Structure 1
Amino acid sequence: MKLVSFIAAGSVAAAQQVYISANGPSSRPQCAANGSYATATPVYLFRDFSFTQTETIRTATSRPAPTTTTSFAPPYASLSSLVPSLITTQWGNWDPSSNASATDAGVPYGNASWTGLWTTVSWTNFTRGIYSTTVEPTAVPTSELVLPPPEYLAPRECYAFPEDFMLGVAASAVQIEGAIADEGRTPVHIDALPLLSPGASPDYITNENYYLYKQDIERIASMGIKYYRFSIPWSRILPFVLPGTPVNKQGLDHYDDIINFVLEKGMLPAIVLHHTDTPLQFYSNISEIGLAPGTGGIGYIDSGYQYSYKNVSYEDAFVNYGKIVMTHFADRVPIFWTFNEPLLGSKNGKSINAVIKAHARLYHFYHEEIKGTGKISITLNDNFGVPRDPENPADVDAANHFNSFQLATFANPIFLGIDYPDSYKMTVADYVPLNATDLVYLNGTADFFSIQPYTATVVSPPPNGSIVECAANITHPLRPYCVTQTTTVHDTQWNIGYPSQTYVYTTPTYFRTYLNYLWNTFKAPIVVTEFGTPVFGEAEKELKDQLFDSPRSQYYQYYLNEGLKAIWEDGVQWIGAFAWSFADNWEFGDFDAHFGIQTVNRTTQERRYKKSFFDFVDFIESRRQKE
C-alpha cells in the first residue's frame, strides 16, 4: 500500500490521509527526467584513487547584540495604578535540615507563616542543589559551536521560511529551575505529585536553572535562537497567592533580570503565566492532585482551576497574579501565554470555564488597559487524531470528535466566538453554559493559535457501543475522548512512525495535515510552541552517542519541511516554531525521557549541545528569506 496526502483548497474534509492500494516497490515520479538510467548499461573503469572528499567546517552564528530596544507597552511606573496597593517583601529559604526557626509567629505574612506553607506536606528526601547564588556566565567556546555532519537524506525542497518566522526554544519553571523552596517560592501542586507516585523523581533540583539561567541564556543565544519561551511560577511572585498579599521582591527581581539578560543577548523573552504550577494552597489535601480513573475527570492531573481559596476563586486570584506580571514586564516582553495545555489539568466543567474566563480577562487587560502592542495567546494540546480509514464515515466522525473535544472546547469561544462543541457538552455534564454576552467577550481573545503537536494518533469508534453511550457513562474506560486510539497505520501492523521513549511517534506527513486542519478550522495564524521527541533509550547511552541524536534531528527537519509545504503549497499561515526543550529536564517525575536538544549532567549540571540543536536552527536559518 502507498500513503498519499492531498489537500483540496478550502476543504477541511479533503485534508485527510487517503490509502491507495498498490503492489511492488515505490515509484519515483521525481526521476522521470532521468528515465534513461532505468535501461542504460553502466560503464565500469579504473582510475587513480585519491582522498578527494571534502568537508565544510561551519560554526553556529550567535545572536548579535541589539542595536535598538523595542517597547511593547509603557513601563511599570506608568502602569502601577492598574494594580494598586502592592506591597513587596521578601522571605528566606526553607531547609528542613536546618535547626533555625522563624521567630515571628502570628505575623500574617511573616517568615513563620511562609515556612508553614512548606511544613504542611511531608516531603520525602528533600535535597538541595550545588548552587545557592546566581552564577555569572562564561562565553561558549568556539569548539562547542562547530556544526555536526549533516543528515545525508535531509529534505531537499527549496521552500523558504518568511523573514519574520519565529525561531525559539521552550522550557517551564517547574521542569528546569529547581530551588523550589528558595527566595520566597511556596509549593505548587506538581512539586507534590511525585509523593503520590512511588519511584518518581522529584523536582527539588532539576537543572538548577534558577541559579544557572545566565549560562543557559548565553548558550541559547550562541546558537542563534531568537525567542526564549519560559514560565514564571505564580507562587514565586505571590507566595500567599491572593490579591492583597505581599509580592515577592526577590521573585520580581529575578525575572526582571532574566528578561533583561535575554534582551542583552539579542533575543526576545516570551512568558507563560501558568505551566503546571498551581499554588498548593488551593488544595485541602495533596491527594486531590491525582485524577482517579472512572471519576469523570477530564485531564491527567487536577490543576485546581475549579477551586477557591479563602473564598477567592481561582479565576480571580489568577487574573490578579497575571496583572502583576504583565504590568511589571509588558514593556519588554512581546508575547504572553496565559495557560499551557490547560485541558490536561482540568477536572470538570468549572475548570474549563475558569480557564477560558481568566484568559479572556487578561487578554482584554493587556490590550485595552495596558495598551500592549505585543501578542497574547493560550497554548492547547492535541496529538492529532487521524481516522483509521479516512473513507469510513464512522472513523472520520471519531477523529473529528477526538480533535474537537481537545481543541474546540477552548478555541470555539476564543477564536470563533461560538459555543462549545457537542463533543465537550455531551461528555462533561457539568459544563458551564456560555451565553451571548460571554461569547462576545471571549471572541477574538487570542492573537494567534498556539499548539503543541508532538505526534499523531490513529482514531476509530469504541469497539463496543457508540461514542454517545461512552460519553454518558463516567466510568467508561475510554473517557473522556470516547474513541479507540492506536499507533498503527490503517489495518496493518505498521506503526505510524519511529517510536520514541514515550508517547511520541515521528509523524511528519500528519503534521502538514494538522496545520491545514487548524488553519482552516480556526482561521488564525499558527505557532507551534512545543514539539520534540526523546530518542529511545538515550539515558543509557554514552555521552558522545547522546550528542549524536540523529532520530531527533530527523524529527525536527522532517516536521519543519512538512510545515514549509503547508505554507507554500496549502496556503497555511504558520508563523513560528519553538523546540521542546532547550535542555533535558524533569519530565514530571522522570529524568530519563530526554526531550532536550542539550544534555545535562545531573552531577555537575554541565550542558552540552546535541546534534539536533544545530540541525533545528540550521534548517530554519538556511531557508530564511532575506530582505
Structure 2
Amino acid sequence: MTLRPLLMLPAVLAQQVYVPTSGPSVPSQCVANNSYATSIPSHSFQEFSFTQSETVRTATSVPAPTSTTLYAPPYDSLSHLVPNLTTTQWGNWDPSVTQAPTDTHNPYGNASRNALWSALPISDFTRGIYSATVSPTPIPTSELVLPPPEYFKPQDCYTFPSSFMLGVAGSACQIEGAIADEGRTPVLTDVLTVYSPDTSPDYVANENYYLYKQDIERIASMGVKYYSFSVPWTRILPFVLPGTPVNKQGLDHYNDLVNFVLGKGMLPTITLIHSDTPLQFYPNISDTVIVPGTGGIGYLDSAFQRSYNNVSFEDAFVHYGKVLMAHFADRVPIWFTFNEPLLGARNGKSIDAVLKAHARLYHFYKEDINGTGKISIKFNNNFGVPRDPQNPADVDAAHHFNSFQLATFANPIFLGKDYPPSYKDTVQDYVPLSASDLAYINGTADFFSIDPYTATVVSPPPNSTIKDCAATISHPLRPYCVMQSTMTATGWGIGYRSQSYVYMTPTYFRTYLSYLWNTFRSPIAITEFGFPVFGEGEKTLVDQLFDSPRSWYYQSFLTEMLKAIWEDGVQVIGAFAWSFADNWEFGHFEAQFGIQTVNRTTQERRYKKSFFELVDFVESRRQRA
C-alpha cells in the first residue's frame, strides 16, 4: 500500500530498533563515578538487632468540594432542545411472577416492557442480593493502609502536570447488574450467553446499580479524582426511539450518581454507549454475532447500520444523547460518545453512522448547549509494531494495521481527511465522505482517547499480500490482513503474559504515544488500560490482594508515559485504570482486571496493592498548581 510520507514519517522514526551488543551492560548509575571498577568490599562483625522499621501510611481521600463548577446551563434552560419529552416509570421484570400486567392497551406500559424480556430464550435468570440503593459507609482506616513497599521501584524523577486526570473506569453492562429492574429493557450483552452456554451472564455482575454509592465512596477514599462510567441507553429510553417515554427512575438514578460523585470531590465522565445496544434493533438475536469470513469488521454487531421502526440507529442514538446531555451537561465535564466502535461495526455503513452521530452530538453540545466541557470518542487498538523494524514490509504492515483501526475514524475527526487506504481497500461498501461531510466532522473531538492495553507484533500475510487479502472477503486474516504475533524478531515473547490477551509492553507504549501524537496532532487521554494477572482467580484472597504484576504494569506504563511527555514532547492529559473492581468481562469473571477484588457471594470489595501504588505513583509526582 502507499503511505503518506509526511504524515507517517514521525511514526517511522519512533519504531523500535534492535541494537546488537555483546556481554552484560554496566548499570548506568555506576558509570559516572567508575565505582563498579575501583571499589573493594570490607567485612566486619557487629552487634545484631532487629532494627528495620516500616513506615505506615494511609491513602489520602479526595477533599470535599468547596464550590461547584458548571459546564452548561441546567436542564430547565435546555429542555426546549429536546421538546415534548414525557416521563414515566416501570416495575421490575421477573419471570417467576405469574400475575401479568394489565396495561396491555398501553404500547409503552409494563406489559409491553415485559414482552421484550419474555421473548428472549433466557432460562436461568437470576437476581442479586440487593433490590434498593445501599447507603454508603465510611471506609475504615485499617483498609486504607498502604501495602509494604517492594524492592524495585521506578528511578525516574519526572512529574505529571497539575491538571493530569487520574481516573478509574467501568461500564454499565459489566458492573451494574439489575438488568431487568426499574424499566431497563434488553441489550446486546444480555444475550451473549445464548451463543456461549458455558459463559457467565451479566444478570448480577457487581450489583453496582444498587451499590454505586459505596463504590464511589471507596474510589474517593483512595484519592482518585475522576470516575468514568457509562449509561445504558435502555435505562433512559426503554423503548429506544424518539417520541417514546423517558424513564424517570433511570434519570433519577444517574442524577443521584452524578451528584454523589461531585459531593465526594470527584468529577464524573459519561460514555453514552459501551457495548450495550438496545436489542430492539435486531430482528433476530442471531444478528448480534458477526460470523468470521463474511466480510464483517468487528466481533459483535452493535447495530450502528440498522434501523428500528424506520428510525435509523444514528437518529435514535443522537436523540438519546441529546436527552442525556440536556439533563446532565451542567455538571459533567467530559463526555464520550462511543466506546471502541470499530469492534461493533459490521460494514461501511456502520462506520459512517458512528462518525456522523458522533459529530452531530459534538455540535449539539458545543453550539446548542454551549457546553464548556470536553467531548471525545474512545478507540481500541493494541499497537501494531513491526516484527523487524528494519524490514520495510513489516513496517508497512504495522502502518496498515494501525491506520485501519485508528485513522478510519481519526482521519475525519482530527485531520479533516478522508478514510485511509487501509480501510477503503478492505471495506468495499464504505460510504464516501463528501467535502461537506469532512468539514462537519473535522475537529469534533477535544482530545484523542485510546484504550492501549498492550502491543502486538505485526508482519505481512505469509502466503499472500495485504492487497490480495483486502480484496478477498473470506480471507482468514481479514479485516486487518496482517499476521499478529506475540514473538519479536529475537525469538522472545513480547512481554509478561496476563490471563487474557494482554502482555506487559511498556516500552512499546511509549512508541505508541509518539505515533498517536505525531500522526493525529491532538492531546491524548488513556481512557482504559489494565492487566488481568494470570491465574489470579485461583489464588487465595491474600495473594489476590498482593497483585505485584498488575502494579508493575501500571507503574511501568506510567513511567514510559512520563518519558513520552518529557523526552518526546507528547501531550498526555490523563489516564483511567480499567477497572476499579473485578467485573464481568463479556461472559467471564476469570479475567480479573480490577484494582479491587469482588466477593461474588457477598459483593464485598477489597483494595488490591495495585490500587494504592497506582494512585501513589501519580500523586507523588504531581506538580502543584
TM-score, normalisation: structure 1: 0.98
Deviations 1:565-598 (A, max 9, x none): 0000011000100000000000000011100000
Deviating more after overlay: 616-625 vs 100-109 = 100-109
Query: Aligned AA for 1:544?
Result: V
2:10–2:519 contact (8 Å) kept in structure 1: no
Partner of 1:610: 608
1:303–1:346 contact (8 Å) kept in structure 2: yes
Shift of 1:11: 2.7
Partner of 1:513: 511
Q: 1:545 aligns with which of 532, 543, 548?
A: 543
The 5-angstrom pairing of residues 32-71 of structure 1 reads: 32-71=31-70
CA distance in 1, matches of 2:39, 2:84: 84
The 5-angstrom pairing of residues 531-570 of structure 1 reads: 531-570=529-568
2:298–2:346 contact (8 Å) kept in structure 1: yes
CA distance in 2, matches of 1:39, 1:76: 73
CA distance in 1, matches of 2:624, 2:202: 43
CA distance in 1, matches of 2:63, 2:240: 39
User: What's the secondary structure of 2:504's corresponding residue?
Assistant: coil
Query: Aligned AA for 1:575?
Result: I
Deviating more after overlay: 382-391 vs 42-51 = 42-51
Partner of 1:438: 437
CA distance in 2, matches of 1:36, 1:73: 61
CA distance in 2, matches of 1:333, 1:38: 59
Partner of 1:4: none
CA distance in 2, matches of 1:37, 1:540: 44
User: What's the secondary structure of 1:376's corresponding residue?
Assistant: strand
Query: Aligned AA for 1:49?
Result: F
The 5-angstrom pairing of residues 68-147 of structure 1 reads: 68-147=67-146
**Mind listing any 5+ residue stretches in structure 2 that lack a counterpart?**
1-7
CA distance in 1, matches of 2:618, 2:473: 46
2:30–2:36 contact (8 Å) kept in structure 1: no
1:387–1:460 contact (8 Å) kept in structure 2: yes
Deviating more after overlay: 106-115 vs 227-236 = 106-115
Shift of 1:332: 0.2
CA distance in 2, matches of 1:125, 1:535: 30
CA distance in 1, matches of 2:459, 2:29: 34
User: What's the secondary structure of 1:623's corresponding residue?
Assistant: coil
CA gap 1:260/1:342 in 2 versus in 1, 3 angstroms? same
1:106–1:113 contact (8 Å) kept in structure 2: no
Q: How many residues are aligned here?
A: 618
CA distance in 2, matches of 1:529, 1:62: 22
The 5-angstrom pairing of residues 313-328 of structure 1 reads: 313-328=312-327
Shift of 1:52: 2.2
CA distance in 2, matches of 1:303, 1:10: 35
Shift of 1:495: 0.8
CA distance in 2, matches of 1:417, 1:375: 19
2:10–2:515 contact (8 Å) kept in structure 1: no
1:343–1:381 contact (8 Å) kept in structure 2: yes
CA distance in 2, matches of 1:209, 1:26: 50
Q: 1:601 aligns with which of 599, 602, 608?
A: 599
1:151–1:554 contact (8 Å) kept in structure 2: no
The 5-angstrom pairing of residues 111-510 of structure 1 reads: 111-492=110-491, 494-510=492-508
Partner of 1:3: none
Query: Aligned AA for 1:226?
Result: K
1:172–1:230 contact (8 Å) kept in structure 2: yes
CA distance in 1, matches of 2:225, 2:315: 34
CA distance in 2, matches of 1:387, 1:31: 34
1:124–1:195 contact (8 Å) kept in structure 2: no
CA RMSD across the alignment: 1.0
Shift of 1:26: 3.0
1:137–1:214 contact (8 Å) kept in structure 2: yes
Shift of 1:45: 1.1
Deviations 1:267-286 (A, max 9, x none): 00000000000000000111
Partner of 2:4: none
Query: Aligned AA for 2:586?
Result: F
Query: Aligned AA for 1:255?
Result: Y
User: What's the secondary structure of 2:450's corresponding residue?
Assistant: strand
Shift of 1:465: 1.1
Q: 1:583 aligns with which of 575, 581, 584?
A: 581
Partner of 1:619: 617
TM-score, normalisation: structure 2: 0.98
Query: Aligned AA for 2:453?
Result: Y
User: What's the secondary structure of 2:11's corresponding residue?
Assistant: coil
**Mind listing any 5+ residue stretches in structure 1 that lack a counterpart?**
1-8
1:90–1:184 contact (8 Å) kept in structure 2: yes
CA distance in 1, matches of 2:385, 2:242: 44
CA distance in 2, matches of 1:402, 1:474: 17
Whether 1:25 aligns to 2:18 is no
1:169–1:578 contact (8 Å) kept in structure 2: yes
Identity of matched residues, %: 73
Shift of 1:10: 8.0
Deviations 1:38-58 (A, max 9, x none): 243211111111222221111
Query: Aligned AA for 2:583?
Result: N
Query: Aligned AA for 1:579?
Result: A
CA distance in 1, matches of 2:99, 2:528: 42
